[in-house]
Structure 1
Amino acid sequence: MDHIRCVGGIVHDAAGRLLLIRRVNDPGRDRWSLPGGRVEPGETDHAAVVRELAEETGLTVEAGALVGSITREPYLINDYRCGVRSGRLTPGDDASDARWVDHTEITRMDVHGELTDTLMDTLREWGVLPHDSP
């Protein structure tokens, strides 16, 4: 079976908080996840990350290194570390909300089942969980 190629962006702000979006569509409707989406035909992963984050968050980012990949049938999702270049955080496209979360907040969201499946474990495994705000 061929997988549908997708990308996600792992973005931290200067305080170490992580950028999450609340998904409008399945999979994971109404749950919080990393911003991202499908790679269009002929598009590179880096171009797709930049496009998807602009559409979902209003932010212009620079895509960096691949942090990790996960498979959620039928999707193969490559998640990249990204840095914000400009823009104002505004949810759009496939996101009903977007926010920066610290470690305390993401832990609360995980306990209450507000995150997409395996997100917390994956972020922990990759060493990219947010920090607590000072």
Structure 2
Amino acid sequence: MTTPPADRSSREYPDRPWVGVGVVVWRGDRVLLIRRGKAPRLGQWSLPGGAQSVGETVFETAVREVREETGLEVVPTGIVTVVDAITPDAEGRVHFHYTLVEVAAESADGDAVCADDALEACWATADEAAELTEWDETRRVILLSASQRPSPPPPAPGTPAPSR
């Protein structure tokens, strides 16, 4: 049996849950997905987000994390839900423990330019996102956020749809 690291304030084998903020970024009928560059869920399609800093509100965290990961500016519109993300190791000990506050946000024009811990980004419909994402909670949060949104106005004639 391996011993967890001595630094119990670490994100791995923590002594308390970490508060994270996930951001469901909408542009029209499409949601922003990023491919994760760090564990947990390394390499999987997910929502942008990250750990909340001391002195920072949940909405400030949402804006900062999307900017750091994609360069996009967003306007938070509300809280979607809260998710418990507890990942055990092979021996059943808690390897990662996050309390994730999921925030809905809107993004204006602009291209996502991946940085920080995002490997790539794409815009997808809720149905496409459900096919791309592997974690059931990510799918659930996206669909919940979609159901909470007012119907977006139809695009102006001749306006191309957002691209992936």
Band of TM-score, shorter chain? 0.7 to 0.9
Could you tell me which of 9, 17, 21 is aligned with 2:34? 21
Q: 1:69 to 1:104 in 2, by over 3 A?
A: closer
Separation (CA, whole Å) in 1 of partners of 2:139 and 2:79: 18
Q: Which has the higher contact order (CA 8 A, sep 6+)?
A: 1
Q: Is the 8 A contact 2:79 2:102 kept in 1?
A: yes
Query: Cα deviation per residue 1:2-23 (whole Å; 9 max; x = unaligned)?
Result: 3211101111112x01100000
Letter of the 2:121 partner, please give it.
Answer: A
Q: What secondary structure, in the 3-state scheme, does the structure 2 residue paired with 1:79 have? A: strand
Q: Is the 8 A contact 2:83 2:137 kept in 1?
A: no
Q: Please, which runs of 5 or more residues in structure 1 have no aligned partner?
A: none
Structure 2 counterpart of 1:76: 99
Structure 2 counterpart of 1:10: 24
Separation (CA, whole Å) in 2 of partners of 1:90 and 1:61: 14
Equivalence map 1:16-95=2 (5 Å)? 16-73=29-86, 74-85=97-108, 87-95=110-118
TM-score in terms of structure 2 length: 0.68
Separation (CA, whole Å) in 2 of partners of 1:38 and 1:88: 24
Instruction: Please report how far the alpha carbon of residue 103 of structure 1 lies from its aligned counterpart in structure 2 after TM superposition.
Output: 3.8
Q: Please, which runs of 5 or more residues in structure 2 have no aligned partner?
A: 1-14, 87-96, 148-160
Could you tell me which of 116, 120, 123 is aligned with 2:142? 123
Q: Is the 8 A contact 2:126 2:146 kept in 1?
A: no
Q: Is the 8 A contact 2:102 2:141 kept in 1?
A: no
Structure 2 counterpart of 1:101: 124
Q: Is the 8 A contact 1:61 1:86 kept in 2?
A: no
Q: 1:44 to 1:86 in 2, by over 3 A?
A: farther
Larger Rg: 2
Query: Cα deviation per residue 1:27-75 (whole Å; 9 max; x = unaligned)?
Result: 1100000100000111111111100000111101111210111011210
Separation (CA, whole Å) in 2 of partners of 1:127 and 1:40: 24
Aligned-residue CA RMSD (Å)? 2.3
